[in-house]
Amino acid sequence: MLINGKAVRIRLFGVDAPEKGQPFGEKSRQYTADLCFGKTVRMEKKDKDQYGRIVAEIYLPDGTSLNHRLVAAGFAWHYTQFSKNPDLARAQQKARAERKGLWAEPQPMAPWNWRKQHRRTSQFHAQL
């Protein structure tokens, strides 16, 4: 996100999207870009993460939440470790029932599990 002409990394509150290299990672990134690239959006800061990044909800020009739209389209998980938002929970349940996006996969893997698995694999290969 550009804030006063400066690029700033924003972590989306309450959602976790597939990683680069993970199934649906590129589709999720493209969906996000299609919704907000080059547009003026509104950011509602919620917190800062352990790396100092702003954690926020992003509102698109039409007033809808990017965070919610990603979950509803099946391009992100509701990150229940950090959010108890019932709207996100319902959006994920509906996307899953309709097999939208990543929910079309037979066994979609949550990004937090994918990261953990790939950290272990990287550590194992580094020891060889």
Catalytic pick among 53, 99, 119, 120? 53
- The verdict on whether 57 is a catalytic residue reads no
Question: What is the spatial distance between Cα 75 and Cα 68, in angstroms, rounded to a whole number?
Answer: 10
Whether residue 11 lies in the annotated active site: yes
What stretch of H or E contains 42?
strand 42-48
- Can you list the pairs that 65-68 forms with residues at least 24 positions away whose Cβ atoms lie under 8 Å? 66/12, 66/32, 66/35, 66/36, 66/41, 67/12, 67/13, 67/14, 67/15
CB neighbours of residue 52 within 10 Å: 7
**Is 26 noted as a catalytic residue in this protein?**
no
Active site residues: 11, 19, 53
